[in-house]
Amino acid sequence: MGLIIKNASVLNAAGELELKTITIEDNRITGIIDAKSTVESNAEVIDAEGKLVAPGFIDMHVHLREPGFEHKETIATGTQSAAKGGFTTIACMPNTRPVIDTADTVKLVLDKAESEGIVRVLPYAAITKNELGRELTDFASLKEAGAIGFTDDGVGVQNAQMMKDAMTLAASMDMPVIAHCEDESLVVGAAVNEGTFATKHGLKGIPNESEAIHVGRDVLLAEATGVHYHVCHVSTEQSIRLIRQAKQFGVKVTAEVCPHHLLLSEEDIPGLDANWKMNPPLRSPRDVQACIEALEDGTIDIVVTDHAPHSAEEKARGMQLAPFGIVGFETAFPLLYTKFVATGKWTLDFLVKRMTSDPARVFGLEQGKLEVGALADLTIVDLETEQAVNPETFLSKGRNTPFTDWNLKGWPTATIVNGQLVWSAK
Ligand SMILES: NC(=O)N[C@@H](CC(=O)O)C(=O)O
Ligand SMILES: [Zn+2]
Ligand SMILES: [Zn+2]
């Protein structure tokens, strides 16, 4: 049968848009030809007139909540939400219940993703059993089962020797260690950034050092062990300084940043509304600027959402008691497109690369390319139509976003995974 995408605006090697016809057979791109040439075929045709066709977006940091927290999200709803956001490959975190810390749980997630998911799901496995920081998991069997890396996301690995052992073992099997950087002794009882908002509301704050101390420790351990070390959700200028220096010294360190840490600071938080509560917290405007510059100069490699759905009831517990986290799939591209590309700060090519070929490069994935022979994972995006963020329309079970009512452009309209249309706006 096959699939043909007509009138596709495609980014070329020079980062400019060109009008093409894309042909797909089975799960591969078979042709990217001049839009004027005619193709004889009985294939299904999608007309992408006026729209961007990009490699499917890749999100290397997401929470699907299954198994164990199905009231927040499931693999079915999470992958639907991802598809609606234009994501075709997502890497899910192991802080589920049970934690993804055994081969059986890795397989369970992969099986569910296969039967109920609509985009590709790559599972991470935990560094320590139950993410308790006490005992390493069985890295070999987790890799064998299909885990793509090790992380205790949700918490930091507090013990340096434990982290060093994890890195030594991961390096020996050519696997990355992905770190949620947080020193627990510095954040007891804290819910928001240590700064203006915390002071105003009499809340205990999360200091920048709680993140950067782990980054500093871990780049030294990465240097000593030779592991590929990837820093989760970077939010502070101090962490960035340490990553930048480590990269200069040839340490195999990579890093990610979330849209909210590029777009919001603690000064934007309207009040004690837990839809503005996430970990790491919204920092100072100075940190936001440092994150933007670090992504621009390559110190930070990729954009991830850290899609972290929670129920309305959980989020209603208030700033101090509600769980940390906001949803991200369905707003990520429109937010960054509207605020950085449409304003002329970044090129479209720059943003697309940070969400496609760069995550693929960092994690050694075959995805992230739009070329003949590549996997047919594609995202079609309307760059013109403005629409307000309405959480009621999310396919995610989570409605916890600080971006409600933001007027944005750059909305995905169709998502193709493995040559199949898995989601479309109509
Ligand atoms: N980012 C968050 O605020 N929350 C994440 C955990 C995490 O990413 O550390 C979650 O699982 O809810
Ligand atoms: Zn985290
Ligand atoms: Zn996370």
How far is the centre of ligand 2, averaged over its atoms, from the C-alpha of 419 (Å)?
32
pLDDT confidence of residue 345? 98
Distance of alpha carbon 37 from its chain centroid, rounded? Answer: 37
The pLDDT confidence band at residue 426, using thresholds 50, 70 and 90, is: confident
Q: Check pLDDT > 90 for residue 38.
A: no
pTM above 0.80, yes or no: yes
How far is the centre of ligand 1, averaged over its atoms, from the C-alpha of 305 (Å)?
11
Report which ligand 1 atom has the smallest distance to the Cα of 153. 9
Task: Give me the mean pLDDT over the 37-63 stretch.
Answer: 95
Q: Check pLDDT > 80 for residue 1.
A: no
| Catalytic (active-site) positions | 306
Quote ipTM for the complex: 0.99
Task: Give me the mean pLDDT over the 128-142 stretch.
Answer: 98
Task: Give me the mean pLDDT over the 196-217 stretch.
Answer: 98
The pLDDT confidence band at residue 115, using thresholds 50, 70 and 90, is: very high
Question: Is the shortest distance between the CB of 306 and ligand 1 below 6 Å?
Answer: yes
Mean pLDDT across the chain, nearest whole number? 98
Q: Which residues pair with 136 in a beta bridge?
A: 128
Domains and CATH numbers, the chain: 3-53+375-424 (2.30.40.10), 65-363 (3.20.20.140)
Task: Give me the mean pLDDT over the 419-426 stretch.
Answer: 95
Q: Check pLDDT > 90 for residue 37.
A: no
Report which ligand 1 atom has the smallest distance to the Cα of 63. 11
* DSSP codes joined into one string, 215-272: HHHHHHHHHHH---EEE-S---HHHHHHHHHHHHTT--EEEEE-HHHHH--GGG--SS
Cis status of the peptide bond prior to 67, with omega within 30 of 0: yes
Known binding residue 306? Answer is yes
Residues bordering ligand 3, an ion, CB closer than 5 Å: 153, 306
Q: Which residues pair with 292 in a beta bridge?
A: none
Q: What are the φ and ψ backbone dihedral angles of 353, each rounded to 5 degrees?
A: -60, -40
| DSSP-assigned letter for residue 266 | G
